[in-house]
Amino acid sequence: MGIGDKDASFQFPCTIHVLCLASPQDPTIQASVSMYKKIIDIYGHGGEVCIPESTLSLDSTQKMFCQFFEEHCSPFHGVLECGHLECNIHIFPKPQVYSKSHDFEDVELEVCHNIKIVGFLDTSDVASPPFISRHLVFPLPPQTANTDAGASDEAIGDTGKIPSFTVLLHGSLKVENMVAICQVGSEWYGMLYSWADPHKKKSNLMLSIFEPGVKSLPWLGKFTHLAPHQIFTASPYGEDDNKTPFPVKITEKRSYSLNHVGWIKPAGLQADIQKVLRHARKLPEKMPHFYKELNRVRKAALSYGFTELLDALSAMLDRECRLLPGSAHPDAALQLSHAANALRTEMARDITQTITPMSTKYSSIINEAR
């Protein structure tokens, strides 16, 4: 494959590390190193080139590999805390440093070694939140986290019988179908939950780390504003645990839930006109709907400065009036010509005004009924 050839890249994210078994004095090494660096850049997910120090020997090679393992393969040990309950843990894979340039701020954060649970949520309430990384959380026996890790393997047989908060937490999260929200750094949060492999045979405690920030999951509100539910006068989960305070509703509705009027495509305009017409043909029964739709269309026309439409609508209502069958209610004709005339007046161009039904015997009955 040629360098710089985009098609040569892998179809999944990967980091490339190159450990050279060559003497740093080798005259060709510089050329090779720069080529390797270029490859790493093309893949774009990071990586590095290592060369043995001084001369190529057993010692220097060993040292190079040891350093590499130290940096990339050393386990991440920490403490899982939930109030006074705690447990030494091993997090795999090792959480990476978060370093990203955002609008208006650069963020560089490291996952803290104390993973602190701040409370719990129902799985349905967190609703599949996006995470930046996932990690398995393994419990460790109380003392080994600080001592020599090498000895722990042999001791495993005995540690199985030491009660571990992590195992309890996993069991309860699984049974109750809940997640634990935890703080993993400064203004940085994640969640712990029971995760089973696709065959559902073996389950484990998983840590998902969210995008840093207190507002990274809008439907949970701000993380810093998550309160114990006891401090509310009425329980947000209801007396019988039949409600939920989530998701947190957005304050400004989006256009798709606003009945937004848009006439960029003729179909949009035609559909709105059709609505007015449908109600017009069922006058006087549909009188309130007719005037509501008429004013809605009128307001949109005024917003877009589309005054020609008001005249066209007026002509259309006049025609509807002429086409009324003989069996029609006399009020239908009255209301249609009233609305058609109103659309032609100056008042129709004044947004503070509303076209209201003509007062007839029938309309007063309707009004009283309402």
Partner 1 sequence: MAYPVSHKTVFVLDHGPAMMASSKENIDFDVFNKSRGPGIIPLAPVTKSLWTCNAEAAVEYCRIVYDLFPDDKLVQFVASDTSATSLNSWQHKQQNVQKLLDCLVVLGPPGHKTDPSDCSIVHGLTHAVEVLCELTEKQQDVRLALEETETTLQNKGRIICMTSLKSDRHVQSLQEAVQEAIIQHNQLSANADSFMPLNYCELVFVHVRPVGRKSDSISSPKKSVSPLLSVEVHVTDSGRSVATKVVGLAQRHYELFSTTVTGIPMKEEQNSGSSANYDVELLHSRDVHLEALNSGNTEGLLIQSKEGLPSQSLTLKWCTPKSNIMELQNCVGAYRVTPVDVNSRPSACLTNFLLSGRAVMLEQPRKGGTRLISHMLASHGGEILIHILSSTRSVLEDPPSISEGCGGRITDYRIHDFGEFMKENRLAPWTDQNIACDPLPLQRSENHLERMTRVWPIAIGDTMIFNMLSHLDPLPSLIVKDKLDDDEVLECKKAIYHVVGMESRNEPLPVPNAGLRTKGSKREEQYRQMWTELETLIKVHVSNSPQHQKVLDCFTDCHKTDGGNTSTIKQRDEAIMELETDLAVKELDTYQKLTEREKFDFNKGNSLSQPQSPPVKKIKTESFMFKPVPSSSSPQSLHTMWTNRLKAVHAMRHVEFAGRQESNDNTAELYPKLNETKSEVPL
Q: Report 281-340 residues binding partner 1 (CB under 8 A).
A: 299-300, 302-309, 312, 315-316, 319, 323
How far apart, in whole angstroms, are the C-alpha atoms of residue 349 and residue 259? 22
Sign of the C-alpha dihedral, residues 60, 61, 63, 67? positive
CA dihedral angle for residue 250, residue 254, residue 260, residue 264, rounded to 10 degrees: 170
Number of residues that bind partner 1 (CB under 8 A): 133
Nearest approach in angstroms of CB 26 to partner 1 is: 34
Question: Between 9 and 60, whose beta carbon lies closer to partner 1?
Answer: 9
Exposure class string for 202-231: b at 16+ Cβ within 10 A, else e: eeebbbbbbbbbeebbeebbebeebeeeee
Nearest approach in angstroms of CB 140 to partner 1 is: 6
CA nearest to 88, candidates 76, 100, 80, 98 = 80
By CB under 8 A, is residue 2 in contact with partner 1? no
| 223, 290, 291, 362: which one binds partner 1 (CB under 8 A) | 223
Residue 242 has phi, psi (to 5 degrees) of -110, 5
Nearest approach in angstroms of CB 224 to partner 1 is: 5
Nearest approach in angstroms of CB 365 to partner 1 is: 30
- Binding pattern for the stretch 244-263 against partner 1, x by CB under 8 A and - elsewhere: -xxxxxx-xxxxxxx-xxxx
Site for partner 1 in 173-202 (CB under 8 A): 173, 175-176, 178-181, 193, 195, 197, 201-202
CA nearest to 110, candidates 47, 180, 215, 184 = 184
How far apart, in whole angstroms, are the C-alpha atoms of residue 236 and residue 256? 28
Assign 359 to helix, strand or coil. coil
- Binding pattern for the stretch 148-167 against partner 1, x by CB under 8 A and - elsewhere: --------x--xxxxxxxxx
Site for partner 1 in 16-75 (CB under 8 A): none
| 29, 132, 355, 358: which one binds partner 1 (CB under 8 A) | 132
Question: Between 34 and 143, whose beta carbon lies closer to partner 1?
Answer: 143
How far apart, in whole angstroms, are the C-alpha atoms of residue 25 and residue 4? 28
Question: Between 252 and 368, whose beta carbon lies closer to partner 1?
Answer: 252
Question: Between 216 and 335, whose beta carbon lies closer to partner 1?
Answer: 216
Question: Between 213 and 288, whose beta carbon lies closer to partner 1?
Answer: 213
| 30, 35, 74, 171: which one binds partner 1 (CB under 8 A) | 171
259 φψ region: left (φ > 0), alpha (ψ -120 to 50), beta (else): left
Question: Between 258 and 369, whose beta carbon lies closer to partner 1?
Answer: 258
Question: Between 28 and 101, whose beta carbon lies closer to partner 1?
Answer: 101
Question: Between 7 and 368, whose beta carbon lies closer to partner 1?
Answer: 7
Nearest approach in angstroms of CB 183 to partner 1 is: 8
| 24, 47, 185, 268: which one binds partner 1 (CB under 8 A) | 268
How far apart, in whole angstroms, are the C-alpha atoms of residue 268 and residue 262? 6
DSSP 223: G
Nearest approach in angstroms of CB 154 to partner 1 is: 13
| 205, 287, 340, 343: which one binds partner 1 (CB under 8 A) | 205
How far apart, in whole angstroms, are the C-alpha atoms of residue 71 and residue 60? 17
Nearest approach in angstroms of CB 52 to partner 1 is: 27
Q: Are 208 and 189 in contact (CB under 8 A)?
A: no
Q: Are 276 and 335 in contact (CB under 8 A)?
A: no
Q: Choose the stretch contacting partner 1; rule: CB under 8 A; options: 32-40, 58-66, 270-278, 285-293.
A: 270-278
Residue 101 has phi, psi (to 5 degrees) of -100, 115
